[in-house]
Amino acid sequence: MSLLEQIDKERLPQHVAVIMDGNGRWAKEKGKLRVFGHQNGVVAVRDTVEGAVELGIKYLTLYAFSTENWNRPRLEVMALMELLVSTISKETKTLMENGVRLNAIGNLSTLPEKCRKQLLETIKKTSSNTNCTLTLALSYSSRWEITDAAKRIAIKVRDGEIKAEDITEDIFGDHLNTAGIPDPELMIRTSGEHRISNYLLWQIAYAELYFTSKLWPDFRRQDLFEAVIDYQKRERRFGMTSEQLN
Ligand code: FPP
């Protein structure tokens, strides 16, 4: 039975979040510069997005650039920004063919103008696609996002738009960058690291975590399928007992 046939389409995660890690190590293994790893990471992004569409996953969120990544060598940061612009531009056609809507979260005002412009252009162009929402986390960190939400809520309280005692988890969630997107049920991290690295901390409260030793440039749709098969074997209890679930 193929991997795809082993998946129960009725119990798919709606939202899969991915920490794409290991580009640098992949390049180093081959005696190449880190940028070569990022370039090959794009191949993995394309295949994973196509795999998500093939499977019927409605939301895919990729950690493409963290707030902390700004501290990398200037040349690497510049190369990553260039790669983002060129990839988003080149892949717009594929996104349209696959019915994928592009979205972005993070402090987008810190991105170079060229990058933000290309991003917003493709977001607009793909806005009516309905097969899958591909969210790129760019200049993103969860603590930044949560602090930003707290600030905006505080301003509303100050201005009398909302009462402090009326703040609920739902209202808080509506002030995060991911407002309107269901929480991920599955979070994948590549490269053998077992960390969350400031990614979607609020949203992954109940997510199943899946770690693979594959380095990101080697990741393909079959690896996504394997992660989903593993997810479907788990019992999601949300604090209840097995007996209550059955
Ligand atoms: C982590 O590997 C990867 C990144 C910081 C960048 C991810 C970017 C891409 C896959 C390319 C462009 C993406 C899109 C969506 C167009 P690392 O450099 O931290 O690897 P290391 O841990 O081995 O050093």
Domain of 191, CATH number, reads: 3.40.1180.10
Give the span between the Cα atoms of 24 and 3, in whole angstroms: 29
Decide whether any atom of ligand 1 lies within 6 Å of the 217 Cβ: no
Q: Which residue of 23, 91, 119 sits with most ligand 1 atoms within 8 Å of its CB, as the best mutation to test the pocket?
A: 23
pLDDT confidence tier of residue 240, bands split at 50, 70 and 90: confident
Domain membership flag for residue 129: yes
Decide whether any atom of ligand 1 lies within 6 Å of the 61 Cβ: no
Give the span between the Cα atoms of 97 and 91, in whole angstroms: 10
Domain membership flag for residue 186: yes
- Percent of the chain past pLDDT 90, that is, above it, reads 95
pLDDT in tens, 118-167: 999 999 999 999 999 999 999 999 999 999 999 999 999 999 999 999 99
Domain membership flag for residue 194: yes
Domain membership flag for residue 178: yes
- Name residue, tokens 């992004």: 45
At 159 the pLDDT is: 98
Tokens in use for 21? 């890690």
Tell how far the Cα of 35 is from the centroid of ligand 1, in angstroms.
9
Q: The domain containing residue 98 runs over which residues?
A: 17-231
Give the span between the Cα atoms of 105 and 176, in whole angstroms: 9
Tokens in use for 9? 């389409």
The catalytic residue among 47, 69, 131, 230 is 69
Residue 245 has pLDDT above 90, yes or no: no
In order, the DSSP letters of the chain are: --TGGGS-GGG--SEEEEE---HHHHHHHTT--HHHHHHHHHHHHHHHHHHHHHHT-SEEEEEEEEGGGGGS-HHHHHHHHHHHHHHHHHHHHHHHHTTEEEEEES-GGGS-HHHHHHHHHHHHHTTT--SEEEEEEEEE-HHHHHHHHHHHHHHHHHTTSS-GGG--HHHHHHTSTTTTSPPPSEEEE-TT----TTSSTTTTTTPEEEE--S-GGG--HHHHHHHHHHHHHS---TTS-HHHH-
Domain membership flag for residue 239: no
Residue 237 has pLDDT above 90, yes or no: no
At 232 the pLDDT is: 97
Give the span between the Cα atoms of 103 and 109, in whole angstroms: 15
Q: Which residue of 19, 20, 62, 193 sits with most ligand 1 atoms within 8 Å of its CB, as the best mutation to test the pocket?
A: 20
- Name residue, tokens 């090959």: 40
- Percent of the chain past pLDDT 70, that is, above it, reads 100
Residue 236 has pLDDT above 80, yes or no: no
Amino acid making up residue 119: L
Domain count, the chain: 1
Q: Against a cut of 0.75, is the pTM above it?
A: yes
Residue 109 has pLDDT above 90, yes or no: yes
Ligand 1, atom 8, lies closest to the CA of 64
pLDDT confidence tier of residue 242, bands split at 50, 70 and 90: confident
Residue 244 has pLDDT above 90, yes or no: no
Q: Region 204-209: what's the mean pLDDT?
A: 97
pLDDT in tens, 23-59: 999 999 999 999 999 999 999 999 999 999 999 999 9
| Mean per-residue pLDDT of the chain | 97
At 186 the pLDDT is: 98
Domain membership flag for residue 170: yes
Domain membership flag for residue 243: no
Q: Region 212-225: what's the mean pLDDT?
A: 98
At 11 the pLDDT is: 96
